Structure 1
């Protein structure tokens, strides 16, 4: 009781600080303005404004601490501009919701100058390149952010929309720069091959999504879908021919089938995917609503795939991650396209496995899960001990969050102050992450300097954030985990 009173007094003192009062003031006014403007965000206790700092922090810290490629540093500079825009956006939104509805570009210009100055002075890029691309990218970011909040009601909180749009914008810039400007780390030829294939896959899916979006509802049918897929498939073959070579299909097949380890991993992943598909199919047939623990079982399956891939073949799991992301986006597009009989069946499966957070236009929770597991593959550069950081998504949401959900639902008798999650669940979250790393090191599956000490700190940070945040765990926790690894790496 005394400890709880001390914690309450500490929180009360923090809330009395001017910076916390200012943040709370902005938060309250944003919520009021959103309601008055008829803007519906995903139901949550807060807008999650703090989330916008996560992705830029990761990129900047890695750019400062490690020998990363020029492309990575450009992404870091652009992310700083996006962070500055998010701060201005939050301030403007606390004054009026008109920033969401009118084409107000003042914040874009100011944010563009921040990125342009960094690229010109720090990275020694040409002035025209820095200014033009900073302006263009910041306007794209602004447009996507406003559309995410206005066109797709109840899908994102403000913070979640900021992270998602930051990620989409930076990913598009990265793929375009890598493909057309040949900027990137060219020392790893195998990874360059993987990036070329993934670029082709994702742009092909993008063509399908755009085509189906532009169609009238009356035009969406199986025949139209077959035409669109045929055109997109032709584009994919042309792109592979240009990026990989004339024998692109042979190279791709040889890359997977001529290596025993790759064949073994691919076979295991394929069997697990088929098993998951059958489970979803039969549960949809009987229309049995999935519980939280049931949904978490898919976290485990996905985590095993990424865990084995990261440990045994990073290149192959990166290739598989690109294919899986494209497939996931394609399936979600079909669900929303109203194409009989595909869309109704996908909607039925969604109704069975959706949770209380999936109330918006898109099914974001499974997308967040997949992206959360895969994002360290892009964000974490190669350095000593980076294997543990690549497992940030697996440890935080595949292991910790799943363990907290299962253990807390059974033995969570003592709740946190908000009354939602339990102390027992949080404790098991932390312990499970430490235990997994301990087992991996004990069996010499991989060895990271001071890995056990690092995960003790990181697991504690992740567990506490999972217990207190009302933003979607699958999106937030992997980014928090990567930052925690970066911080502890400065001292250990």
Structure 2
């Protein structure tokens, strides 16, 4: 066992060694530019490869839609953009003050050429979409790093900015260029989700631009009423006069979905009760206590993915809108709503939530939901859809609980224990085995694939100082994809 640990540590040192000099220069330049990133041992420079690699692998080995391929091409451009960003940031702090730089245009040409040559899209379409994506990515990176003090590391800012840009561009292309899929049910769900998220976006924008004198409950009511009117009109225009009846029938009447909804309602009620009780006691929640919400959220996604993945897609989109809206209200300064939400945040925030925004709850939700958006619809993809549940709902929670109680041997340069990592891996494997035992998961080679994916995500969880909720689902998805190549 000691020989294995020595070998693992040797590989780790060899892989991370060349990055240390780059990390040092970037840290110095960030300090010189008075940029306060989230305190961490490293800047997480490796994180920017995760989303492009995930999308590219699926694009190469699965039958995906044209929109998926376009999104993948843009993500490759963002990958080149991120590499140039890291290199320039390592040379000078003045780089952060530039509005646009040549790397932005060069990265745009990479995406444009991929779309033009490989996908045979119109040249002007390819150039417009690519340059707009790179420009937006540049803007977001600077806002995340410069304006939002102590909220992101460099790597976390890149992953978050990539996610926002790709989702936004995908939404714009989908609606303005009518790229529909053959799955009518997913089209129906997409209309509802995009309507909800665009409505939330308008509310957040309105709250951001409110003057201090207008930050009142009356103004909030006017904004919410206007948002509801907008959503109703969009749904009426896109779904027709019977659209609302369709939504009601789809959610409550088809396939006995009310049973699954009742189960979710019980879980949500338990979470709300726990929040209220803990807030009233004003006792700071421990790490293990916070993991309770990981379990409850994971049970929602696990049940949805196993029993009704389409309804889970709809619920995930609506839930994302709710979480973003709650955070916007917390920061809005509208009393007593902001004060009440802030009191809950102070009780349940962890050591990583020291920035302007509370990103940990959002990371948890996005980490659980992201596979639903990224993993193509095909037989045998259930383990990949469960990547977030396994990595952070099961593995990370198990590692935290077991490691805090029975862990004594820590990994080198880490506060994580070997015992916790071992239990992390075993808990993921045990979950998949239990699902197979009760015939809830019938994917081919699911257990073998999970052994590899769980080992990879468990080791990354033990060594990284970046936010687990954001990165581990992506790492797990990539690991699952590599098992398809081998098996």
**Structure 1-normalised TM-score?**
0.97
Please tell me whether residue 72 in structure 1 is matched to residue 68 in structure 2.
yes
Aligned-residue offset at 1:217: 2.0
Deviations 1:210-244 (A, max 9, x none): 00001112211101101111111111011101222
Who is 1:10 aligned against? Answer: 10
Could you say if the C-alpha distance between residues 419 and 102 of structure 1 is closer, same or farther in structure 2, counting changes exceeding 3 Å? Answer: closer
Who is 1:57 aligned against? Answer: 53
Could you say if the C-alpha distance between residues 191 and 56 of structure 1 is closer, same or farther in structure 2, counting changes exceeding 3 Å? Answer: same
Could you say if the C-alpha distance between residues 2 and 395 of structure 1 is closer, same or farther in structure 2, counting changes exceeding 3 Å? Answer: closer
CA RMSD of aligned residues (A): 1.4
Who is 2:151 aligned against? Answer: 155
Please tell me whether residue 402 in structure 1 is matched to residue 397 in structure 2.
yes
Aligned-residue offset at 1:53: 0.1
Match of 1:477 among 459, 469, 472: 472
Who is 1:43 aligned against? Answer: 39
Aligned-residue offset at 1:13: 6.9
Structure 2: state its 5+ residue gaps: none
Who is 2:99 aligned against? Answer: 103
Aligned-residue offset at 1:286: 1.2
Who is 1:203 aligned against? Answer: 198
Could you say if the C-alpha distance between residues 383 and 22 of structure 1 is closer, same or farther in structure 2, counting changes exceeding 3 Å? Answer: same
Separation (CA, whole Å) in 2 of partners of 1:162 and 1:207: 24
**SS of alignment partner, residue 258 of structure 1:** helix
Who is 2:264 aligned against? Answer: 269
Say which is worse superposed, 375-384 or 98-107, in terms of deviation.
Answer: 98-107
Separation (CA, whole Å) in 2 of partners of 1:278 and 1:12: 43
Verify the 8 A CA contact 2:414 2:463 in the aligned structure 1: no
Aligned length: 487
Please tell me whether residue 216 in structure 1 is matched to residue 211 in structure 2.
yes
Show structure 1 runs of 4+ deviating over 4 A: none
Who is 2:248 aligned against? Answer: 253
Match of 2:170 among 171, 174, 185: 174
Please tell me whether residue 463 in structure 1 is matched to residue 458 in structure 2.
yes
Who is 2:133 aligned against? Answer: 137
Could you say if the C-alpha distance between residues 249 and 137 of structure 1 is closer, same or farther in structure 2, counting changes exceeding 3 Å? Answer: same
Who is 2:281 aligned against? Answer: 286
Could you say if the C-alpha distance between residues 2 and 224 of structure 1 is closer, same or farther in structure 2, counting changes exceeding 3 Å? Answer: closer
1:411-450 equivalences under 5 Å are: 411-450=406-445
Separation (CA, whole Å) in 1 of partners of 2:183 and 2:394: 31
Aligned-residue offset at 1:8: 8.1
Please tell me whether residue 30 in structure 1 is matched to residue 58 in structure 2.
no
Aligned-residue offset at 1:196: 0.4
Separation (CA, whole Å) in 2 of partners of 1:347 and 1:256: 33
Separation (CA, whole Å) in 2 of partners of 1:335 and 1:392: 30
